Structures are given as structure tokens and as C-alpha cells.
């Protein structure tokens, strides 16, 4: 039961990470269009860039996501069959995991990272007070 709870916590953290990357990008693009000043926050933009670049680098190097690996190890350690997966695990799994070729994920992650880099050129981040 403890392993299942820990796996669910990791799944929630993982989902939060993905939401940060996707929602952050949407807010940056909308912010560029609407000229929102807060989207130029240096700390927000750097953490957002590092989040997607890290994912893209993992994919390009053929490294499995550490959050995915940890979650699956914990689920396996819980000795529960797939039919008895928790509600949270089922929801997170349906949002996080897709059946597609690895090369497709690599292309998507690398392209997304490149687009985020382009937003740095279009609307560079600024330090506070500048």
C-alpha cells in the first residue's frame, strides 16, 4: 500500500511537471501577444526552459524519464495487478502515457524545446528592475 501511495505521489509530481511545461508555454505565447510583463520573469523563463530542454535531452540521449522509471518501480513493488491500479494512478497514466513510437516523442520534445528557445528570442526574459 505504501508503494502504491508513493507511486501516486510521483505520478502527481510528474503530471505537475508536464502541466508546468505546457501551460507555461501557452501563457508565454499569450503573454507575448498581450504584452504581459510578468512572462519576462527571468526565474520563470529559465526554469521553464530547463524543464523542456531536460526532457528533450533525455529523449535525444535515449534516457528514460526518471519520474516514469521511479513510478513504475514503485507500482511493480506494490504487487498490484493493472486491474487494481489506484484511481489517481489511472488518471495520471491516461494523461501522461501514450502508445507511440519513441522517435515520435523525441521529435515532439526536441521541437517543443526549440520553440521555447525561440520565445526567448522573441520576448527575452528580464531581471527585476530592468
Residue 2 has pLDDT above 90, yes or no: no
Q: Is the pTM of this model over 0.75?
A: yes
Q: Which residues form the domain of 110?
A: 2-122
Residue 43 covered by a domain: yes
Q: Which grid coordinates belong to 118?
A: 525561440
Residue 69 covered by a domain: yes
Mean pLDDT of 32-41: 96
Residue 128 covered by a domain: no
CB 53 within 8 A of CB 113: yes
Mean pLDDT, all residues of the chain:
91
Q: How far apart are alpha carbons 57 and 46 in whole angstroms?
A: 16
Residue 76 covered by a domain: yes
Residue 77 has pLDDT above 90, yes or no: no
Residue 130 covered by a domain: no
Residue 41 covered by a domain: yes
Count of alpha carbons within 13 Å of 128, Cβ hemisphere only?
A: 2
Provide, rounded to the nearest whole percent, the portion of the chain with pLDDT above 70: 95
Q: 62 vs 28, 56, 57, 120, CA distance in Å?
A: 29, 10, 8, 26
Total domains, the chain: 1
Amino acid at each position: 500500500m505504501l508503494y502504491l501511495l508513493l507511486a501516486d505521489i510521483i505520478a502527481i509530481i510528474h503530471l505537475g511537471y508536464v502541466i508546468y511545461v505546457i501551460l507555461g508555454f501557452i501563457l508565454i505565447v499569450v503573454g507575448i501577444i498581450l504584452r504581459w510583463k510578468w512572462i519576462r520573469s527571468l526565474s520563470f523563463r529559465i526554469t521553464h526552459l530547463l524543464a523542456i530542454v531536460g526532457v528533450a535531452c533525455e529523449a535525444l540521449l535515449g534516457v528514460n524519464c526518471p519520474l516514469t522509471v521511479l513510478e513504475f518501480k514503485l507500482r511493480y513493488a506494490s504487487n498490484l495487478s493493472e486491474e487494481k491500479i489506484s484511481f489517481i494512478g489511472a488518471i495520471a497514466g491516461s494523461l501522461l502515457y501514450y502508445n507511440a513510437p519513441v522517435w515520435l516523442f523525441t521529435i515532439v520534445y526536441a521541437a517543443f524545446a526549440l520553440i521555447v528557445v525561440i520565445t526567448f528570442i522573441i520576448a527575452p526574459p528580464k531581471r527585476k528592475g530592468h
